[in-house]
Structure 1
């Protein structure tokens, strides 16, 4: 069942009429097929005009859409022989971050990603994709394993942020995130990161310090959520739309700023409408990125990656 966002109401109304017509019999007074075709043309035109001029706040809504493909969907569609690896070998298993080895289009890779879950039960089980320290320590363990066996690392970012509970702070949330960033910078094997939905704060960057950072067209990536920013700056979360515009969190903005390397175009109407097509586009982009890094040895990869993020910091200061 399609879930419509508030700015999609005109589209929802037209698609509702199409569904009604498809359940009617052709009584001769109206050509059902012709009318459906006419309305579908209007839907397509309206979808295009709506999605070509989304505001940053609307992009946030699309990035959070419950029907967008999640990490598990990408694994099911793109990966053969996926073997999940659990636990941080120190405290516990954190299901907000899922990882394991598999084969991607003929090559062995290590996969790590935030998993939000697809229904109430799975969302609770995966803690809505918000990892605790043991989740990042699991990611560290898997990245080190990949480095040892010279496996490329592919990460999928989709989180509102690291889990902010008291227990997380007691177990060293900030240290775990910082160590994960450090390990990303030190890998001598290629690392590709894709922001597929929300890229929130340190919880996102912990697994996104990569040779190539890719981002879906309607995903968002920011140091803080628009609601959190609005609450801090204006003491009013209702000004989240204004904050979203100021944060420069869209893929086009971040490409212009040099924070990400490339934008993956989504099917018209967003990845939530056409998940299979979106997943295929992500797969093609990951394959191209991995091919581009194949000729570099470990030392060169590590040096280039470190310079990339150091230069980003210098540009920010300038």
Structure 2
């Protein structure tokens, strides 16, 4: 059977972007349509590195006593009116453009295949939830979203559209929708979809756009185990219907224990266009190829065709395990229809 391919969610805990590009090309180059830079260095622990951004932002203050839930680190709060909050550069554009130079050089040298450069960005709700006090999250979020869209514009202005892919990493939203995390959004599902649609439509139409729908992997576990794919499908369908531009791909997690058709059954209602790629995060190191075979068989009871991925990025994994994990992707990709 012909593989639909491999999707790399984002983080890869290797030394730098060049090391990531070379490793990906060597192990799964024939299966990927786009390549991440690995979110290396300070970006390796998702949005925790944005704490330095909040620390230097006018209009925000913190102290060692004022701590919020979800994190033992102090939260930032408004020092005065929300209108005084002014975020400067967030660092995502700078990182992307530095990696783009390396990507372009390696592709010109034939090290990388003819693939797109993938930039994975967190939705603004994620750093707001992590770094801002609960009482001020709603007030601070618009300023951070403006700053994130400015980062996106810098990226899309500098990198040719036909060589770029943007992924919005969507995790905190599912914690809220599942009732695990408190929310500052009054009409929660509508508010989440409004935000995700706005972020997607901000990506130029010729740039590939995707969403990584995520249930987290802190401590190697989801913040809650999804009962099935119903909520994921509902969000994916809403995005496909609401976006005013093409949707390139959707990535959905698959817990390691879900080898049953019931988990995948809602995929029968998935209403994506023929051009939108579906990736299932069914690759798990713990049970390797045998476990992936079981999850693929169960998924085929509800979906005719899909590519494969891990549930989340590799960022919290020991670097020495990355080559084996990439090789596992290649082996599993051969099994998919």
Is TM (by shorter chain) over 0.5? no
Q: What is the TM-score of this pair, normalised by structure 1?
A: 0.35
Give the number of the structure with larger relative contact order, counting CA–CA contacts within 8 Å between residues 6 or more apart: 2
The higher radius of gyration belongs to 1
Q: If each structure's helix is expressed as a fraction of its own residues, which one has the higher value?
A: 1
